């Protein structure tokens, strides 16, 4: 949770895309991102739009939460970033991850999940990424599917609505899950089932039709 430049995430994602292209030439590429991974996916696709057949975003970080990024807090973060960049701010409240208590418990006990506070320096990187996404949105022409819970306290749904309304793409869809929290793919069972069906069918519909082999001449 201490990266000097958000671009590192985009660089690594594109490196992986290049690896997949070399291993599976000719296959369409889709990228799926959740939360901060959604922000990474958006900026990755913006960097090389021709590489992607579609982008799926589950509760993506498009904008900073207006309650946590007030003008005063942003100003304070900039000051602290110069003085004590390693200072940690508040951590994520796990109760807002899912409405399923079992999923919250799994999140709390997952050793691969960072449970500490967000450093000021990383918060600045997130704000920079959100500002960059806002500038890029009007130019977005690639197909995308947005899924978001309207009771998401971690990544505000206004960002997804703004992206859907302002992106120039003609192939775009926003599906809102009423009452759902942040991790839609780990929410209540019926939401999880719907999300998986929605994502798989959306991708399948955008796969190129299989072409029949040319008849052999005798």
Catalytic residues: 35, 152, 182
Place of tokens 């302002």: 166
Tokens of 7: 């671009």
């Amino acid at each position: 949770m201490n990266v000097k430049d958000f671009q590192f995430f985009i660089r690594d994602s594109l490196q992986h895309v290049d690896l997949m292209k070399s291993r599976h030439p000719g296959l369409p590429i889709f990228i799926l991102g959740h939360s901060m991974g959604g922000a990474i996916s958006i900026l990755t696709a913006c960097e090389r739009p021709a590489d992607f057949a579609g982008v799926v975003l589950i509760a993506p970080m498009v904008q900073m939460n207006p309650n946590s990024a007030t003008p005063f807090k942003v100003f304070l973060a900039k000051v602290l970033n110069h003085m004590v960049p390693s200072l940690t701010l508040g951590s994520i409240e796990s109760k807002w991850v899912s409405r399923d208590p079992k999923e919250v418990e799994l999140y709390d006990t997952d050793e691969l999940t960072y449970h500490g506070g967000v450093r000021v320096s990383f918060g600045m990187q997130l704000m920079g990424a959100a500002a960059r996404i806002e500038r890029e949105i009007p130019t977005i022409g690639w197909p995308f599917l947005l899924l978001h819970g309207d009771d998401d306290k971690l990544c505000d749904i206004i960002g997804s609505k703004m992206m859907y309304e302002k992106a120039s793409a003609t192939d775009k869809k926003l599906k809102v899950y009423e009452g759902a929290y942040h991790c839609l793919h780990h929410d209540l069972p019926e939401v999880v089932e719907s999300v998986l069906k929605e994502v798989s069918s959306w991708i399948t519909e955008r796969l190129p039709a299989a072409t029949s082999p040319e008849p052999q001449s005798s």
